[in-house]
Amino acid sequence: MIHVMLNGRVGDLDLDVVFETPGDGITAIMGRSGSGKTTLLRAMAGLDRLKGEVSVGGRVWQDVTRFEPVHKRAVGYVFQEPSLFAHLSVEGNLDFATKRASKIVNRAEIIDLLKIAPLLPRAVSKLSGGERQRVSLARALLSGPDLLLMDEPLSSLDQTARQEILPFIRAVGARVPVIYVSHDPLEVSRLTERVLYLAEGRLTERPAVSLEGLSQAEIEALARQALGFPSPHWGEGGA
């Protein structure tokens, strides 16, 4: 079980959030830009300091009396842009995580899961956007996280790369509990049914949605979600 109760002010945003979510699978947090998604995720990781409680699988990361620093939380974090270390090769990036991992992780299995074996000797600058994000995912998994936080990991990718990487994220979600932040209902509908909505720093009921400016596919995805139909994982071969 993942338990989160956080509140505080960051910039113009007044965040006040309480939720619990099962300790497996993918939980999505949706909201417009500026609704506090990234702030919430950063606070859960300990990158920003908010008041409240965070516990993951019975381990307390933060409560009234203590605040574990980021590096002492068994957290994985995938940032919006693939933030691989430029001074290391792909393998060096993975080694960085392995050396400091909070538990033993089967490295070969992770490399296989994300299909990055051919990329290992390469320089980070020689990777495509999608490849970089896959390596970022592998690196986060290799650190042995109890919870993986993903902050719009597809936003820096083009349409093709997004299609390619979604099945990998689902596969990751089957291994480690994931909290997935996004503003894209289509993307979310293809990852999980479990969705929390964030607006102006508060969790809300499923919001009234404006369909203006959405594509046909996005509207269909919203309709499916609203009706509780499972999302068809069409054309990805990984479902």
Partner 1 sequence: MIEAIWITLLLAAVTTPLLLVVATPIAWWLAQKGSWIKDVVAAVVALPIVLPPTVLGFYLLVALGPNSPLMALLQPFGVRTLAFTFTGLIIGSLVYSLPFAVQPIRNAFEAMGSRPMEVAATLRASKWDAFVSVALPQARRGFLTASILVFAHTIGEFGVVLMIGGSIPGQTEVISIRIYQAVEQLNWAEAHLISGGLMAFSFVVLMTMLIVDRRFSARTAGIRP
Cα separation, 221 vs 40, in Å, equals 25
- In the complex with partner 1, which residue's Cβ is closer, 133 or 182? 133
Q: Is 237 left (phi over 0), alpha (psi -120 to 50) or beta?
A: left
The distance of closest approach from Cβ of residue 79 to partner 1 in the complex, given in angstroms and rounded to an integer, is 7
> Which amino acid type is present at position 16?
D
The distance of closest approach from Cβ of residue 149 to partner 1 in the complex, given in angstroms and rounded to an integer, is 8
- In the complex with partner 1, which residue's Cβ is closer, 31 or 76? 76
Decide if 166 contacts 142 (C-beta within 8 A).
no
The distance of closest approach from Cβ of residue 238 to partner 1 in the complex, given in angstroms and rounded to an integer, is 26
The distance of closest approach from Cβ of residue 97 to partner 1 in the complex, given in angstroms and rounded to an integer, is 5
Cα separation, 182 vs 195, in Å, equals 10
H-helix or E-strand containing 90?
helix 90-100
The distance of closest approach from Cβ of residue 231 to partner 1 in the complex, given in angstroms and rounded to an integer, is 29
The distance of closest approach from Cβ of residue 77 to partner 1 in the complex, given in angstroms and rounded to an integer, is 4
For strands 51-56 and 13-21, give the pairing. unpaired
- In the complex with partner 1, which residue's Cβ is closer, 6 or 142? 142
Quote the Cα angle for 5-10-14, to 5°. 60
- In the complex with partner 1, which residue's Cβ is closer, 137 or 186? 137
- In the complex with partner 1, which residue's Cβ is closer, 47 or 223? 47
Give the per-residue SS3 of 135-203: HHHHHHHHCCCCEEEEECCCCCCCHHHHHHHHHHHHHHHCCCCEEEEECCHHHHHCCCCCEEEEECCEE
Longest dimension (CA), the chain: 50
Neighbours of 48 (CB within 10 A): 17
Residues engaged in binding partner 1 (CB under 8 A): 45-47, 69-72, 75-77, 79, 81-83, 85-87, 96-97, 100-102, 124-125, 139-140, 143, 156
- In the complex with partner 1, which residue's Cβ is closer, 32 or 71? 71
